Amino acid sequence: MTTMAPNKHNQLAAGRLTTKTEDEQISGTFTIGSYLAARLVQIGLKHHFVVAGDYNLVLLDQLLLNKNLQQVYSCNELNCAFSAEGYARANGAAACVVTYSVGALSAFDGLGGAYAENLPVILISGSPNTNDLGSNHLLHHTLGTHDFRYQFEMARRITCEAVAITHPEEAPYLIDKAIRAALREKKPAYIEIPCNLSAAPCSKPGPFASFLETPKSDPTSLAAAVRAAASLLEKAVRPALLAGPELRAHRGIDAFRKLAEAVGCGVAVMPSAKSFFPEDHKQFIGIYLGAVSSPGCGEVVDSSDVVLAAGPVFTDYTTTGWTAQPAEGKLIRVDSDRVRVAGTTFNGVFLAEFLEALAKVAKRNTTTLLEFQRGRVEPAAPPAAAPEAPLTRAEMCRQIQDVIDSNTTLLVETGDSWFNGFNMRLPGNAKFEIEMQWGHIGWSVPATFGYALGAPERRVVLMVGDGSFQLTAQEVCQMIRLKLPVIIFLVNNRGYTIEVEIHDGPYNNIKNWDYAGIIKVFNATDGGGLGIRATNGKQLAAAIKQALDHTGGPTLIECTIDRDDCTKELLEWGNRVAAANSRPQERA
Ligand code: DPX
Ligand code: MG
C-alpha cells in the first residue's frame, strides 16, 4: 500500500528532481534519512536491502540521494533480513529497511539469526506519524490498538540496541548509539524512524573512527589469564587447539593462527568455524564433531589433556547431542570478553588480545600433530560413477568438489548439505558459510544473494536442499535482476531427509517442484538465469561446465537423488541429537 508518499523516486529516476537536496547535503544540511545514509557509508556499506511500504517511502527517497549507497530490493522482509545477514558475513556489517509491523515482524526472524550468528545487521523500520502517538487514532498495518510501542519492545529482545526516534534533535545521537553498539557487540541493532521525520533536518555526522575501535583488555586480568593459560599448556602432555565460530566476529582469526603456529600442535575446527583455520595448513587435523569428526580428528581432541577452544559455541548440535564437549578441567575457553582456564574465569580479557599475548609465551608442543600424522590414512579419491547411472549423493559431491577453488565461498543450508559441506576440502583461501546456531531452513538463498553482492570478486557456490529452497526460493530472482553469477546446487531428494532419518512421518514429504524450470519463470522477458536438471553424472558434468561459463546471472543445477541417499554422518549425528532431545524429564 503506497498512499502517503510523494512520488519523488520516479522524479529522481527521470532526472527531474536532482540538485536541491544533494546540494544541501554537500553544504552540510542533513535530514534524518541522509544522516543515516552517510553513517552507513562511513561504516563501509555500499548497499542496503529494502522492501518498500508507506511508513518508509520518504526514508527510502532520502537514502537514494546518497550516490555511494545502492538500494537493493528484496521480495519480502524475511529475505531482506537474511540478505543483509549474508552481506554482513562478506562485508562486516549490513543494513535493511522495512515498513512498520507487516514488514518488521517478518524481518525479526532474520534478525534473530543475525543475533545468533554474531552479525551486525542494522534493521531500520519506518513507523507511525508522531502526531498519531498518544492520539485516539487507529492505524493500518498495526494490531488495531492504540499501542504503537510493541514493535520497539519486541526489537529490544533480539538486538543489542534498539532506538525509537521521536524528535529530529535526538536522531543523530540515537542513530549513532545503535550503529556503534552493533559494531562493538557484533549483534543486530534496531532503528525506528517515524514516517513524518525521515526528511526532517538534523545536524550533520561527525567523525566515526570511534565506531570501529576495538575494546582493550584490563591489563592485570590479561596478564593473569595469559599466565594461567601458559602454565596449563606448559604442563600439558598432549595439547590441542580448537577454532570456534565466534573467532571471526571478535577479529581473532589471525591471532588464533599465530598461537597455533607458536605451539605447533594439532588444530581442529568446530563445524561452524570451518575455513577459520586454513585446511591446507600442515597443522590442520579436521572438523571436531564427536563421533562424526573428520577421520582421526575426534580421537586426537578427545585424548588431548588440554584443549584451548577459541570462540567456541557448544550446543546440542555442535557437540553431537552433548557427546563432544571438552571437560572443564582440561579446557582453556576463550570467549569474546573473558577467558576461563580450567574453571577459573578472567573477566575483561578480549579474545584477539589474549591469543596474541599467549602466542608470545606459550610453550611449543607438537605431540598431537605428530599423533595425528602417524595415524593418518590419506582418503582415496572417490571413483567417478558410470556417466549414465542415476545420480547419487557421492557422485554429486565428487563433482562439486572440483568447482571449489581458492577463491570460492561455499554456503551450505541446514539439512544434509551441512554434512556434504563439512566433507568438502577447501583449498587456499576458500571460505565456508553456515548458519548452524539459528538453523533456519531457507536462510541460504537470500544470504547467498547478500553475500554475492558483498563479495563480487568471489565465486559463490550454494548447496541447498529442496525443502529449504521452498521457503525463500523467490530471492533467486534478485540474483537474476543484479546478474550475479552464483552457482546453486539444489539437492532434490524429495523431502526433509534429515527428519526422515531421525523420525519419519507424512510431514516429511514435500510437494515436488520443477526447480530447474522455475528459473524460466524468474527470467521472464529480461533475465539471464540458467536452470538445468541433472539426473546422472554425465548431465551434472555438462551442467557444471555451463555454469562456470555463464557470467550473466545465476545457474541453478537441480540434482535429483534418492530420498534415502544421505551421508552416514547425518545418520549418526541425527540419532545422537535426537537422543539428547528426547531425554525424559529428570525429577529431583
Ligand atoms: C527441517 C529440515 O530438503 O534438506 O537434506 O533433505 O534434509 P534435507 P531439505 O532442505 O529439508 C530440510 C529439513 C524441516 N527443519 O530436513 S532441516 C526444521 C525447520 C527449520 N527451520 C524452519 N522450520 C523448520 N530448521 C524455519
Ligand atoms: Mg530434501
- 236-286 pLDDT tens trace: 999 999 999 999 999 999 999 999 999 999 999 999 999 999 999 999 999
Q: Please report the pLDDT score of residue 160 as a whole number.
A: 98
Q: pLDDT of 220-233, one tens digit each?
A: 999 999 999 999 99
Helix, strand, coil in percent for the chain, rounding step 5: 40, 15, 40
Task: Evaluate if residue 19 carries a pLDDT over 90.
Answer: no
* Ramachandran sector of residue 196 (left: φ over 0; alpha: ψ -120 to 50; beta: rest): alpha
- Can you tell me the distance from the alpha carbon of 109 to that of 441, in angstroms, rounded to the nearest whole number? 12
Q: What is the mean pLDDT of residues 465-471?
A: 98
Q: pLDDT of 309-325, one tens digit each?
A: 999 999 999 999 999 99
DSSP state of 486: -
Q: Please report the pLDDT score of residue 40 as a whole number.
A: 97
Q: Which atom of ligand 1 is nearest to the CA of 471?
A: 26
Task: Evaluate if residue 5 carries a pLDDT over 70.
Answer: no
Q: Is the CB of 414 under 6 A from ligand 1?
A: yes
Q: Is the CB of 415 under 6 A from ligand 1?
A: yes
Which of 498, 508, 581 is the pocket-test mutation for ligand 1 (most atoms within 8 Å of CB)? 498
**pLDDT category, 9, cuts 50, 70, 90?**
very low
Query: Ligand 1: distance of its center to the CA of 467 in Å?
Result: 6
Q: pLDDT of 375-416, one tens digit each?
A: 888 878 889 999 999 999 999 999 999 999 999 999 999 999
Half-sphere CA count of 355, side-chain side, radius 13 A: 27
Q: 97: which strand partners?
A: 50, 124
CB 233 within 8 A of CB 332: yes
Which of 418, 441, 558 is the pocket-test mutation for ligand 1 (most atoms within 8 Å of CB)? 441
Q: Which atom of ligand 1 is nearest to the CA of 413?
A: 10
Task: Evaluate if residue 308 carries a pLDDT over 60.
Answer: yes
- Can you tell me the distance from the alpha carbon of 391 to that of 560, in angstroms, rounded to the nearest whole number? 7
- What percent of the chain shows pLDDT beyond 70? 95
**pLDDT category, 28, cuts 50, 70, 90?**
low
**pLDDT category, 2, cuts 50, 70, 90?**
very low
Q: Which atom of ligand 1 is nearest to the CA of 466?
A: 3
Which of 418, 496, 573 is the pocket-test mutation for ligand 1 (most atoms within 8 Å of CB)? 496
DSSP state of 390: B
**pLDDT category, 10, cuts 50, 70, 90?**
very low
Which helix (H) or strand (E) element contains residue 184? helix 171-185
User: How confident is the prediction for the chain on average, in pLDDT?
Assistant: 93
**pLDDT category, 361, cuts 50, 70, 90?**
very high
Quick one: which ligand is closest to 501's CA? Answer: 1
Q: pLDDT of 212-222, one tens digit each?
A: 788 899 999 99
Task: Evaluate if residue 4 carries a pLDDT over 90.
Answer: no
Which of 109, 434, 468 is the pocket-test mutation for ligand 1 (most atoms within 8 Å of CB)? 468
Q: Please report the pLDDT score of residue 425 as a whole number.
A: 97
Q: Is the CB of 412 under 6 A from ligand 1?
A: no
Q: Is the CB of 435 under 6 A from ligand 1?
A: no
CB 188 within 8 A of CB 156: no
CA 542 vs CA 95, 118, 369, 535: distances in Å? 38, 39, 41, 11
Q: pLDDT of 64-109, one tens digit each?
A: 999 999 999 999 999 999 999 999 999 999 999 999 999 999 999 9
Q: What is the mean pLDDT of residues 10-17?
A: 31
Q: Please report the pLDDT score of residue 588 as a whole number.
A: 63
- Can you tell me the distance from the alpha carbon of 411 to that of 424, in angstroms, rounded to the nearest whole number? 11
* Nearest Cα residue to 415 out of 476, 474, 469: 469
Q: Please report the pLDDT score of residue 14 as a whole number.
A: 32
* Nearest Cα residue to 220 out of 228, 232, 209: 228
Q: Please report the pLDDT score of residue 377 as a whole number.
A: 81
Q: Name which residue sits closest to atom 11 of ligand 1, judged by CA.
A: 496
Quick one: which ligand is closest to 464's CA? Answer: 1
Reported pTM: 0.94
CA 163 vs CA 101, 122, 181, 330, 570: distances in Å? 16, 11, 11, 43, 42
C-alpha cell at 183: 559494531
Query: Ligand 2: distance of its center to the CA of 467 in Å?
Result: 5
Q: Is the CB of 198 under 6 A from ligand 1?
A: no
